Homo-oligomer: A and B are copies of this chain.
Amino acid sequence: MTTHDFYRGRRVMITGGLGFIGSNLAHRLTDLGADVLLVDSLIPDYGGNLHNIAGIEDRVRVNVADVRQASTMNYLVQGRDVIFNLAGQVSHIDSMRDPHTDLEINCRSQLTLLEACRHYNPSAKVVYASTRQIYGRPDALPVTERHLVRPTDVNGINKAAGEYYHLVYNNVFGVRACALRLTNIYGPRQLLKHNRQGFIGWFIRLVLEDQEIQVFGDGSQIRDFVYVDDAAEAFLLAGATDAVNGEVFNVGGDEHVAHRDLVELLVRTAMSGRYRFVEWPAEKKVIDIGSFYADSSLFKSRTGWQPKVSLADGLRRTLDYYRPRMAHYV
């Protein structure tokens, strides 16, 4: 059975299903013939957007609910074969302003979901969306899963705890689970409304509105990028194999790109917008982690995953997606 056959008729649930990665995954899963339940709180500013399921709205079931609500989660997990657990408070800035809300969503709610599985659906497979942010400033590049977890903000800490819970529930309670540490994901259906959820969505908005991007310092910090279809494929593979259970995996891109080169490529591809180098703001400099790119070879070897969309192609597709749809995203 191929991975794709695996999902035909499979009962799948996606928390954060109307968000960026969740909705792209939903599009893939409906194509594959899965029975898809999308759970999303639709909290303004968090990333959930009903427009993200335009075209598949009749082929998925949407249940507006908050992962903090234990009794609701106890009900919704029942009978689901695979749970893609992507709901989260994504903003690092917000996590430092209001750390308790970040804890409730990224930490406590993960425990709530796993307790729901333990008691009401212990045979579920759970794939958790973690983040490279939990590593903090890397000691060496590329960063492997052997690198210390050393988060630099409250969001990173709570995401790390959420990840650990999944592993413990796998190891102790037999709720099969793994975690994917995503690097910088970009593509269609990402939130563009504000700049508190990472830089790449915001940069895309700025060039589409023909505005100026500010690049801090000399823009030499390196990142790796993953087009959202490749990220969705990583979730599909992880959900379909037990060879990943109880482990964490980096999921990053093969191209390592300096900020200034990303911005230059973006402006060139869009044929709009511009950029300018500015001094590092002091409050951002203090929490900057320098260059980061991940070694994803463990996940590749375990699942056969391989990112297929180049940064140039991905940016072009992304811009093409948003241009006629900006009204739904700003």
Contacts and interface: CB of A to CB of B under 8 A. Distances in A.
Interface of A: 96, 99-100, 103, 107-108, 111-112, 115, 146, 148-154, 156-158, 160-161, 164-165, 167-168, 171-172, 286-287
A150 to B, nearest CB: 8
Contacts of A96: 172
Given A108-B103, A172-B287, A158 B157 contact: no
A108 B108 CA distance: 9
Contact of A148 (B112, B149, B172, B286): B149
Nearest to A112: B100
Contacts of A158: 161
A160 to B, nearest CB: 7
Nearest to A99: B111
B99 A103 contact: no
A154 B111 CA distance: 9
Contacts of A149: 148-149
B168 A164 contact: no
A253 to B, nearest CB: 24
Contacts of A148: 146, 148-149
A232 to B, nearest CB: 28
Contacts of A165: 99, 154, 157
A167 B146 CA distance: 21
A148 B167 CA distance: 14
B107 A100 contact: no
A151 B168 contact: yes
A111 B100 CA distance: 7
Nearest to A171: B152
Contacts of A111: 99-100, 103, 154
A100 B151 CA distance: 22
B154 A160 contact: no
Given A99-B111, A111-B103, A157 B168 contact: yes
A158 to B, nearest CB: 7
Contacts of A286: 171-172
A3 B200 CA distance: 50
A124 B149 CA distance: 26
Contacts of A108: 100, 103, 108
Given A108-B108, A157-B168, 4 more contacts: A148-B149, A150-B164, A160-B160, A172-B286
A168 B146 contact: no
Nearest to A111: B99
B157 A164 contact: yes
A107, A108, A157, A287 pick with most chain B CB within 10 angstroms? A157
A192 B144 CA distance: 43
Contacts of A287: 172
B115 A107 contact: no
27 contacts: A96-B172, A100-B108, A100-B111, A100-B115, A103-B108, A103-B111, A107-B161, A108-B108, A111-B154, A146-B148, A150-B164, A150-B167, A151-B164, A151-B168, A152-B168, A152-B172, A153-B168, A153-B172, A156-B164, A157-B161, A157-B164, A157-B168, A160-B161, A160-B164, A161-B161, A171-B286, A172-B286
